[in-house]
Structure 1
Amino acid sequence: MVELTYWLMASLLTPIVGALVISRLDKYENIREAITLITALSLFAINIYLYTQLDNAQQAGFVLAEPINGLSISFAVNDFGVMFALIASGLWIATSIYAIGYMRAHKEQHQTRFFTLFAVAIAGVMAVAFSENLFTLFIFYEFLTVSTYPLVTHSGTREAKRGGRKYILILMGSSILFFLPAMIWVYFIAGSLEFVEGGILSGSMDPAWVLPLLVLFILGIGKAGVMPMHKWLPSAMVAPTPVSALLHAVAVVKAGVFSVVKVVVFIFGTDFITESGANTILLWFPLVTIVLASFIALTKDNLKERLAYSTVSQLSYIVLGVMLATKNAVLGAGMHIAMHAFGKIALFFAAGAILVTMHKKAVSDLDGMGRAMPFTFLVFTIGTFSILGIPFFGGMWSKWYLLAGTLGFEGNEFMYWTVLSALAISTLLNTYYLLSIPMRAFFIQNPSYTDIQEAPKACLIGMAIPTIVTLYLFFDPSIFYQLSLSLTK
């Protein structure tokens, strides 16, 4: 156990050490980028080792500090945390490769600062993933907000600063107004903030109070993108594409839904929220978000904005899964964190490649471009199929279990049909606003595009990695299936 604790510490510290080294290499860009890749690869290898040792990891953890007696900043190894750490660290490798090509081709300024802060943000993600209690998770949830703000405003333009202000105000404001009071409420009721299988509130709290407390958490965990706390996410699309891709399609937003899942499963307990009946009422939050965000995405001509609203919608599939509180739905929610991550990052990578190569941002400008950028639009097509949950792509499995969980929902009949209708409407809208992009790129004639003009090779390699994984996960989703099963015990 002591040995595994050291490996856990290494997972938390590796990105910080990498950031310190990267920050000193402003005049040596090749070395700087090599250190970025070495750090990302090292972190992923450490998390792979922790995954292989999960059977022996029950006692692997440590206390960093205990500011109040019984309230510690502590970390531990667990299945769900390892899953989040594997996703974020694995995709950091792909994003680092992609970012090297993107940042150079786009001639971005302050690249050393960019790679340094990126590593710092990944350290925040690891801390969220391995938080042993809600207090620790809250601290590093906030750290992640603050550390990613300079990445959102990286370009320094008026638009970037305006987007950054909305980003920081919504995320910090929701945390202070809702998340913090909810956490304090839990502490005074249960006398603990530990993550425990089955939750800590059953027997300590009147079921009538579950609804208002859970509303505070849903509104307070703004990174989950549940409406009306979603507007920070489209605003954050002013960031460079590598930031949009990893942090705002994977790490930051997934830290939000990861936190929601941890709160529902390990603070409340799915049995307790079902007993209280609060979950049936709270289903309206994700249902409205799923459908409304899909309609808004349909209206967006800016490609990254369309993808941002798609993310808002898809995040609420995860919230929906835990609110349904059936075994299959919770399993599907956990798996969707992974499956959506790989599919959506491929879409954002493709959008960045189009910007770098063709300098186009609008969907209406993409007609016929598939003939000039066939690889890029193939990646976009595969990512789209996975998001839609079509067979032969990884996204099918999370949608499969979410649907199975919906069919097993024992709430009132009206809500049962409402959930099924919302999922059907959202899927139809997703098909139109996503699939129409590669369709018009490949099948509409445009004499402007005759020669192949793909993005830099580093971008193409970075794009290929999540695309290949998305295909592989259809045939072998076992790693994320097994890790998500820990949510249903």
Structure 2
Amino acid sequence: MSISLAHMLQLTILLPLLSVIGVLATSNKPNLREAITLSTSMLLIYLVSQLYGANAQGLALNISWGEIIPGLAISFTVEPLGMLFAFVASFLWLITTCYAIGYLRCHHEKNQTRFYCCFAIAISAVMGLTFSANLFTLFIFYEVLTLSTYPLVTHSGTDNAKLGGRTYLGILLTTSVVFFLLAIVGTWQVAGTLDFKQGGIFSSDVNITIAGTLLVLFIFGVGKAAIMPFHRWLPAAMVAPTPVSALLHAVAVVKAGVFTIVKICVMIFGLDLLAILPTTQLLLYLAGATVLLASIIAMRQDNLKARLAYSTVSQLGYVTIGALLATPSGITGSGMHIAMHAFGKITLFFCAGAVLVRLHKSQISEMRGIGKQMPLTMLAFAIASLSIIGVPPTGGTWSKFFLLTASIDTKQWLIMIVLMLSSLLNIAYLLPIPFHAFYPNILTKQNSPEINIASEQTEQTKQTLAIPRYEAPLPCLIAISITCTMCLILFIYPQPLFELASAILPYRN
């Protein structure tokens, strides 16, 4: 092999940063600029696949960029949970870039070079966070991810975008400094180390009250996991262009949050300690409340991106619940849901962006009948909705199955009810969108505000339906087709994801 595995690991972190130089150098040559981004993302997928092969063979891989103080180094390692997230992020970087090319050009977005540069820096931060060998390293890249995505949230430069950006940055930085950093310092003082370790790093005689307090600080401190009440940054960030929404919801930011939660639960606390902490149950109920409340709020949103944003808040609660249930099936379900939700939700955002670009519609009440004009887009929306709901023949079925199993195994009947009610709410706020897109005049009610809007604009609707079929720009349609197909493939062939998710706990029974 011409390049060592250690160099490959470092290159996965540095390669997206190196692409920034090429993107800046070709800023006045859009085709070349985007070719560099696409080539870099494909090379990143290759590097991640090589690391996966080495990890599958049981090869230990650890590197260090040096100690800050004795016992506290910036270091990286390869393990199954990190591999799972790295695969999802690297693959979806390629797909989102393809989508962004069509979207940004068709929508005539300004500052496209800045977009690709910040996107690359964010992916570099994700790779660094993914392969972090300790909490200190993870925290550094966690913060870099926040700062690098801020210009993307405020990309349009409008007052509304700047306000959303301030909310985004304010909540994420505040939770990091007030809670996350304090939890890291407390863990260092109690455990004497910040290195991730299977089974946790706390001694068997650790004070339960202190450990429980640290868990609360971690859950609130990882603001990117969007546990209520620290979730408002996510809906606020929806002022960003659709490719940025896809980055926030599927490729990087929120997935970095729940990835961090799972890694802390497994490799800082360990499942044995987690199961006996008094605050675990309280946090489980908080995560359950987040799942239900966010779903209820989502139902009330007429703006499609806002509805999808609150849906994401709800779905992230699933991953947190799986981690806090502290069972092998719960951890497996959480790991799989990171990937399953990523493909489903990114498809939904891609479809929302396609409708905006082609039909200039962002309100759900305006989307009746658009299935006649954009049949492929709305079919993809329907399939991705089924994956978010968690029903066959889509991949979301498997992750929700393991999460439900974990709640039954632990006799958490209230959590089980929450998961089932949430799936019913998912049906209520997602499926009517594609249904009415294809069948606008079925199941109408005189008193429905949404229907009244449609009935008042009957003539306009008829004119709209007379427009010939046309879809999103080809790069957007390719991206939508790939992610939608993955929702189906992951139902038929979930084995690779299952193996990585179940390997998070090598001692799994």
TM-score range, shorter chain: over 0.9
> Which residue in 2 is equivalent to 1:413?
none
> Which residue in 1 is equivalent to 2:215?
214
Per-residue deviation, 1:308: 0.3
Contact 2:249–2:345 at 8 Å: present in 1 too?
Answer: no
> Which residue in 1 is equivalent to 2:421?
425
Contact 2:93–2:251 at 8 Å: present in 1 too?
Answer: no
Is 1:481–2:504 an aligned residue pair? no
CA distance in 2, matches of 1:202, 1:405: 26
> Which residue in 2 is equivalent to 1:444?
440
The runs of at least 4 consecutive aligned structure 1 residues that moved more than 3 Å come to 55-58
Is 1:406–2:407 an aligned residue pair? yes
> Which residue in 1 is equivalent to 2:173?
172
Matches within 5 A, 1:67-216: 67-203=68-204, 205-216=206-217
CA distance in 2, matches of 1:28, 1:259: 38
Contact 1:383–1:467 at 8 Å: present in 2 too?
Answer: yes
> Which residue in 2 is equivalent to 1:42?
43
CA distance in 2, matches of 1:360, 1:17: 37
Per-residue deviation, 1:210: 2.5
SS in 2 for 1:487: coil
Is 1:458–2:475 an aligned residue pair? yes
Per-residue deviation, 1:65: 2.4
> Which residue in 2 is equivalent to 1:250?
251
Q: Which moved more, 1:198-207 or 1:454-463?
A: 198-207
Per-residue deviation, 1:27: 0.9
> Which residue in 1 is equivalent to 2:445?
none
Matches within 5 A, 1:304-315: 304-315=305-316
CA distance in 1, matches of 2:209, 2:248: 37
CA distance in 1, matches of 2:500, 2:331: 12
Q: Deviation per CA, 1:132-172, whole angstroms, max 9, x where unpaired?
A: 00110001000000000000000000000000000000000
Q: Deviation per CA, 1:24-61, whole angstroms, max 9, x where unpaired?
A: 11110010011111011110111111112213454312
Contact 1:322–1:330 at 8 Å: present in 2 too?
Answer: yes
Per-residue deviation, 1:201: 1.1
> Which residue in 2 is equivalent to 1:337?
338
Taking only aligned residues, the RMSD between alpha carbons, in angstroms, comes to: 1.3
Q: Deviation per CA, 1:81-100, whole angstroms, max 9, x where unpaired?
A: 11101100101111011000
Per-residue deviation, 1:250: 3.1
Contact 1:210–1:278 at 8 Å: present in 2 too?
Answer: no
Percent of aligned positions with the same letter in both sequences? Answer: 49
CA distance in 2, matches of 1:211, 1:205: 10
Residues 1:202 and 1:437: Cα distance change in structure 2 (over 3 Å): farther
SS in 1 for 2:228: coil
Q: Which moved more, 1:203-212 or 1:346-355?
A: 203-212
> Which residue in 2 is equivalent to 1:296?
297
CA distance in 2, matches of 1:449, 1:112: 37
SS in 1 for 2:63: strand
SS in 1 for 2:392: coil
Q: Which residue identity is paired with 2:391? A: I
Q: Deviation per CA, 1:434-475, whole angstroms, max 9, x where unpaired?
A: 001001101015421231121110110011111111111111
CA distance in 1, matches of 2:88, 2:408: 29
Per-residue deviation, 1:209: 2.2
CA distance in 2, matches of 1:352, 1:232: 20
CA distance in 1, matches of 2:255, 2:465: 37
CA distance in 1, matches of 2:251, 2:239: 16
> Which residue in 2 is equivalent to 1:274?
275
For normalisation by structure 2, the TM-score amounts to 0.93
Per-residue deviation, 1:278: 3.1
Q: Which residue identity is paired with 2:186? A: W
> Which residue in 1 is equivalent to 2:368?
367
Contact 2:199–2:266 at 8 Å: present in 1 too?
Answer: yes
SS in 1 for 2:118: helix
Per-residue deviation, 1:13: 1.2
> Which residue in 1 is equivalent to 2:32?
31
Q: Deviation per CA, 1:233-259, whole angstroms, max 9, x where unpaired?
A: 001111110110123333100000000
SS in 1 for 2:102: helix
> Which residue in 1 is equivalent to 2:354?
353
Contact 1:202–1:272 at 8 Å: present in 2 too?
Answer: no
Q: Deviation per CA, 1:290-346, whole angstroms, max 9, x where unpaired?
A: 000000000000000000000000000000001111211111011000000000000
CA distance in 1, matches of 2:81, 2:47: 16
SS in 1 for 2:25: coil
CA distance in 2, matches of 1:58, 1:280: 37
CA distance in 1, matches of 2:480, 2:82: 25
Is 1:231–2:232 an aligned residue pair? yes
SS in 1 for 2:196: coil
Which sections of structure 2, spanning at least 5 residues, go unmatched? Answer: 442-460
CA distance in 2, matches of 1:267, 1:291: 28
CA distance in 1, matches of 2:366, 2:471: 16
Contact 1:250–1:341 at 8 Å: present in 2 too?
Answer: yes
Q: Deviation per CA, 1:374-401, whole angstroms, max 9, x where unpaired?
A: 0110110110000111111111000010
Per-residue deviation, 1:202: 3.5
CA distance in 2, matches of 1:485, 1:19: 36
Question: What is the aligned residue count?
Answer: 484
